[in-house]
Structure 1
Amino acid sequence: MEENKLREAEFMFKAILKENNNNGSALFGLGRICIRLEDFDSAIYYLRRACEHLPKMLDPLFALAHCFNQVGSPVDAKTVLEYTLSIAKHNAQAHYELSQFYLDYGFIDNAKKTLEQGLKCPYGPVSVFMLNELVQIAPVSELEQHLQLLEQLLDTYDNERLKVVAYYALGKCHHRLKNHDQAFDFFQLANDIQLQFCDFKTSAMLPFFHKLKQHFNEDFFKKPTDKVASTFTPTFIVGLPRTGSTLLEQMLVQHSNIGSIGENTILSDAIVPFLEKRSETSYPYCFDNLSTSTKDYCRTLYVEEIKKRRVGDEVVINKLPANFQNLGMIYSLFPEARIIHLTRNFKATAWSVFSNHFAADEPYFCSISEFETYAQAEQNLMAHFNNHIPRNIFTLSYEALLEHPNKMITKTLNFLNQKFEPQCLEYYKDRRSITTLSKAQVRKPISKAPLTSWQPYEKHIIALLNHADETQTNQVSP
C-alpha cells in the first residue's frame, strides 16, 4: 500500500479473506484501495463490513464517512460521524472529523461547539488543527483564551509541521484582534518553516511555462478544430489561488443549469499521462498531431469523470485555478469551452496566500517573493492565451465581483449563455459541501472587507519583495 502497488495489495487482502471472510483488517485494506481508485461504491461495501468486524477502530468509520460524502450522501456521512463520536466521546480526532463535516456543509455553530468540546479531550497533534479552525469562526471576545492555549500547545510540540499550523493560527488570532505586527511575525514564522519543506524553487517552473507558449502557438490555434457534439458546456475557472474561485463557483452553481465537479485534476492526472504514454513524449509535445479518435477518447475520460461526480447540468464547472496551465489542451479537446479568468490586486492576493495554511509544500504558497514569480508567470501565460483564443476567455476581477455582484454575475452568466437567476446572489444559504480554505467565508453574504483587510500589511509585503530583489541582485553581481 505504501509503495502504491495496489494490485499486489488487493491480491494479498483477498487471499486473507479466502481464509477468513470476516477479517476486518483485510476488508479495511480493500476499502482503502477502492478509495485510492475512486471506486467509492465498492469502498462503502468493504468499509461497512470492516466497521462490523473492527468495532473499536475509528479509522474505518472515518473512511466510510468520507466515501458517503464522495457519493453525495451527506446524511449517511453525518450519521457515521455522529455515531463515531458517541462511542469515542473523549477522542479529539472524532470531534475534529465531525467538526470538518459541519464546516464543509456550512453548519458553523455546530462546528464551533464540536471543536470546543474536542479541546476538552486530552491534547494531541489534532488539537492545533482544531484551534486553527476555531480561531477563524469564534467571536473576537473569545480569541484571547485561544491565544493562551495555542501558546501552551506550541511549547509541547517538537514536530515542525505542527508548529507551522500553530503559527498560522496565532497569526489569525492577532489579525482578528488587530495586532497586525504580531500577526505578521507569526505568519512569517509559519512561512519560513514551511518553505524549508519545499524541494524546488518556483523559477524551476519557468522553462515549462515557456514550453507551453512555444508549443501552443499561433500555428497550433490556426489548425481546424474538431466538431464536438457535447451535451454540456465545459467551463473552467482559472487564475491564481485566493482570487475568489470558491465564491464565484458557489454563486454560479445556484443557477438551475449549472453544476460543478470542484477542483478536479482529471486533465493532469489521467488525460496527460495517457497521451504521454501513447506518444512517448512529455506534455505539451504529446499534443502533436492527435487523431480525432484519440481526442474522442480523452473527451470520454472527462465525461466519465463528470458522470462519476453525478453532475448532469448544461454547464459543468471545473474550478481548479492551476488549469490556466492546461488551456491549450482544453481548447484542443473542447474548442467551445468557456474559461473564466479571475484576477485580483497582486498585494491582496499575495497576502491572502501568505496568511493561509496550504497543506502542499509548494514554494509560492509560503513565500511572497516566490509567489510573485508564480504570479508573473501566470499573468504572462494568460496574456498569451488571451491573444490567441479571446472568444473563449472572460476575465473577471475579484474586486469588481465584490463591488458589483449583481452586474458581474449577470455578465458571467451571459458569457455562459445563461440568463440571470436571483438565487445566484443568495449563495450563502446553500448547504452543499465546500472543502476549500474559504468554506466558512462563503457561508456569509458578500463582504467588502477583503478589499482592505490586507492593507495594514502593505509595508511588510513591500519589505519582503524588496529584500528578495536585493538578495537576487547580490547573487548575480560580479
Structure 2
Amino acid sequence: MLLLKRANELLADNQLREAEFMFKAVLKENQKNGPALFGLGRICMRLEEYDSAIYYLKRACEYLPKMLDPLFALADAFIEAGSPVDAKTVLEYTLTVAQHNSQAHYQLGQFYLDHGFIDNARRTFEKGITCPKGAVTAFMLYELVQIAPKANLDGYLTPLHELLNEYDNNRLKVVVYYALAKCCHRLDDFNQAFDYFKLANSTQLEYCDFRTEYMQPFFDSIKAHCNSDFFQSPNDKVKTTFVPTFILGLPRTGSTLLEQMLIQHSNIGSMGESTVISDKLVPFLMHRSESAFPECLQNLTTSVLDHCRALYIDEVKKHRVGEQTVINKLPANFQNIGLIYKLFPEARIIHLTRSFNATAWSVFSNHFAENEPYFCSLSEFQLYAQYHDDTMHHFKAMVPRSIYSLSYEDLLDDPTMQIRKVLNFMYQDFQPQCLEFHKARHKVHTLSKSQVRQPINQAPRSNWRHYEKLMSQLLPAQNTE
C-alpha cells in the first residue's frame, strides 16, 4: 500500500516515469491490482499513448467495478483514439450502473452535446439535475438554459438560485451567474441578464493574475523579431503529404462554424484547436536557444525546423487526420504566424474578422474556463483586440499572399460564395456538402457546439444590440460596429 500511495503522489506531481515504475512494481506482486492499472492508464493518457491507455483502463474497470472514474477515463481514451462509438457504449453503460449519479449524467450528456445529439443531451441533463446535487449540477443547468425549449426556462431559475446559496466556491458561482444570465436573455429580460453577465465576469476577473496591458511588450517583440528581414531570409524547401491550414483571429469570430463547413469536404480534415505549437514547438525552441519567445525564432536552422515539423506532423498523426488539407483552428495562433511561415511556407492562413461590438459581446456573454482577463472584461478585451489587430496588420504586410481574410458577417450573408472563395484559397474545388454542416456528427468541443448543429441564422450578428447602452457603461470608448 505504501508503494501504491507513493506512485499516486508521483503521478500527482507529474513525475510520470517514476510513477510508472512504481505502479508496475505493484503489478508484479498482484496483476489484478485495480488502482495500479488505473494509475498506468492515466499515465498513458498524459503521454498521449491512447491505445495503451485503453488496455490498462479496461483492466482497471474490470477490477474496480464500483468506481466510476476508470470508466470516465476509458471513455476519454476511446474518444482520443478516434473511437467515439466505443466511448458512447462506455458512458451509457456507466449510467446504467450509476443512475443516481450526477457526474455520470453530465459525462454522457456532454458526449451527446459534443457529437450533435442535442435532444439526447437535453434529456440526459434533465435527469441529471434531479440527482443529488454536486459541482456538475451547475454545468448541466448552464447547458440546459441554452438548448432546452423556451417554455422550460422558468423552471430552471429556482434551482439556479438555490445553487447560489449552496455553493461556497466562487468559481462554481460564476457558472451559475452565466446560466442565470443566459436564461434571462432567452426570456427577454435583458436588464437582468446584463446584471448577471456583469457579475459573472467581475467574479471571474478576480481570479486573473495579470492584466492585458502586460502583454504589450510581447506583441511588440513579435513584430520586432518577425520583421522584413525575418521573412525575406531563404525558406527551407518543404514537402509534406498535406497542406497545413490555420484558422485564426479573435475568439468568437466564427472559427468553429467555418471549420465545420470546411471539413464536410472530402479532402479536408481538422485537428481542432491544437496547441501543439505553443505547447511543444515553442518550448523546444526556447530550450534550444535558451531564450524566450519570440526571441527564440532567431537563427532557425534547417535541423531545428525539421525537428519542429516532425513534432507537428506527429500531432496530426495522433489526431488520425489523413486528408489532403489539415486544419488547426486555434484562434491564438495569430501570434505564431512567423513560426508557421518558416515551418510551412506553403501553409494557408485564414484570418476571421467580425464587428467589434458583436465579438466583444459574444466573449463577455460566454463562460471561458481559462481565467484570462480579456475573456471576462469588455475593456480588457478591447485592449486585446487592439493588440490582435496591430499584429495581424503587421503580418499581412509581411506575407500578404499567405493570409486570406474572411468576415464572419459575409459568411452569414452569403455562405455559398464565401466558402467557394475560401476553398479556392485552399486549392480545393467547391463541394455542396460544405453547406450541410449542421447535419454532421463530427465532435465539436467549443462554446459553439450547439450553434453549429443548426442552419446559419442572423441572430449572432445582432444579439449585442439588446445591450448596446449597457455595454457603454463598461466600455466608454466603445468602437463603432
Task: Determine whether 1:194 maps to 2:204.
Answer: yes
In 2, Cα distance between equivalents of 1:44 and 1:203: 44
Cα RMSD, aligned residues only: 1.2
Question: Secondary structure, in 3 states, of the residue corresponding to 1:454?
Answer: helix
Q: Which amino acid aligns with 2:423?
A: L
In 1, Cα distance between equivalents of 2:478 and 2:170: 24
TM-score norm. by structure 2 comes to 0.96
- Tell me how far 1:414 sits from its aligned partner: 0.5
- Name which of 79, 87, 90 aligns with 1:80: 90
Q: Which amino acid aligns with 2:237?
A: K
Task: Determine whether 1:272 maps to 2:282.
Answer: yes
- Tell me how far 1:33 sits from its aligned partner: 1.0
Compare 378-387 and 4-13 and name the one that shifted more. Answer: 4-13
The unaligned stretches of length 5 or more in structure 2 are 1-10
Q: Which amino acid aligns with 2:110?
A: Q
Residue number in structure 2 paired with 1:315: 325
Residue number in structure 1 paired with 2:7: none
Task: Determine whether 1:343 maps to 2:357.
Answer: no
Residue number in structure 2 paired with 1:2: 12
Q: Is the 8 A contact 2:103 2:136 kept in 1?
A: yes
- Tell me how far 1:6 sits from its aligned partner: 1.2
In 2, Cα distance between equivalents of 1:96 and 1:285: 44
In 1, Cα distance between equivalents of 2:300 and 2:185: 52
- Tell me how far 1:314 sits from its aligned partner: 0.9
Task: Determine whether 1:100 maps to 2:131.
Answer: no
Task: Determine whether 1:439 maps to 2:454.
Answer: no
Residue number in structure 1 paired with 2:250: 240
Question: Secondary structure, in 3 states, of the residue corresponding to 1:352?
Answer: helix
Count of matched residue positions in the alignment of Structure 1 and Structure 2: 469
- Tell me how far 1:467 sits from its aligned partner: 8.4
Alignment of 1:135-174 (within 5 A): 135-174=145-184
- Tell me how far 1:326 sits from its aligned partner: 0.3
In 2, Cα distance between equivalents of 1:305 and 1:126: 31
Residue number in structure 1 paired with 2:439: 429
Question: Secondary structure, in 3 states, of the residue corresponding to 1:153?
Answer: helix
Alignment of 1:12-411 (within 5 A): 12-411=22-421
Deviation >3 Å, runs of 4+: none
Question: Secondary structure, in 3 states, of the residue corresponding to 1:396?
Answer: strand
CA deviation vs aligned residue, 1:279-322 (integer Å, no higher than 9, x gap): 21221222222221221111111111111111111110000000
Compare 23-32 and 321-330 and name the one that shifted more. Answer: 23-32
- Tell me how far 1:2 sits from its aligned partner: 2.3
TM-score norm. by structure 1 comes to 0.97
In 1, Cα distance between equivalents of 2:294 and 2:167: 44
Q: Which amino acid aligns with 1:150?
A: L
In 2, Cα distance between equivalents of 1:53 and 1:94: 19
Residue number in structure 1 paired with 2:4: none
Q: Which amino acid aligns with 1:225?
A: N
Q: Which amino acid aligns with 1:47?
A: L
Question: Secondary structure, in 3 states, of the residue corresponding to 1:236?
Answer: strand
In 2, Cα distance between equivalents of 1:76 and 1:269: 29
The unaligned stretches of length 5 or more in structure 1 are 470-478
Q: Is the 8 A contact 2:269 2:322 kept in 1?
A: yes
CA deviation vs aligned residue, 1:76-105 (integer Å, no higher than 9, x gap): 001000100000000011001000000011
Residue number in structure 2 paired with 1:476: none
Q: Percent identity?
A: 65
- Tell me how far 1:126 sits from its aligned partner: 1.1
CA deviation vs aligned residue, 1:158-209 (integer Å, no higher than 9, x gap): 1101110000000000000111000000010100110000101111111111
In 1, Cα distance between equivalents of 2:212 and 2:478: 13
CA deviation vs aligned residue, 1:377-419 (integer Å, no higher than 9, x gap): 0000000000000000000000000011001000000000111
Q: Is the 8 A contact 2:472 2:478 kept in 1?
A: no
